[in-house]
């Protein structure tokens, strides 16, 4: 997968190749706050925002976080290669 430290540009963490190998369960690397943002972004995508009202009633930070989640979800959906598709499937397709 693309190195999260450098975004694929190459750094010390990935040995300059821009990619890293996931050797353990990726679920264990995600903290509770991040899971909450992912769940809330999923609900918002389905029309249920955390704060009553529409997008303009939400905190700017949440809207930015939700857009980040939505972007990465779409990227995973289009990435048909192995681990990304398997991880996406574990979440019911988000």
Model pTM score = 0.61
Instruction: Tell me the pLDDT tens digit for each residue of 53-76.
Output: 888 999 999 999 999 999 988 877
pLDDT at 82: 62
Give the dihedral of Cα atoms 42, 47, 51, 54; nearest 10 deg.
Answer: 130
- The secondary structure element, H or E, covering residue 78 is helix 60-78
Q: 14-56: per-residue pLDDT in tens?
A: 899 999 888 888 778 788 999 999 999 999 999 999 998 888 9
């Amino acid at each position: 997968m693309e190195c999260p430290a450098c975004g694929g540009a190459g750094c010390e963490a990935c040995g300059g190749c821009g990619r890293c190998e996931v050797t353990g369960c990726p679920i264990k690397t995600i903290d509770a706050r991040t899971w909450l943002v992912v769940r809330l972004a999923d609900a918002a995508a389905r029309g249920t925002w955390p704060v009553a009202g529409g997008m303009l009633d939400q905190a700017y930070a949440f809207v930015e976080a939700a857009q980040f989640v939505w972007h990465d979800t779409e990227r995973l959906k289009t990435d048909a290669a192995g681990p990304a598709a398997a991880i996406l499937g574990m979440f019911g397709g988000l």
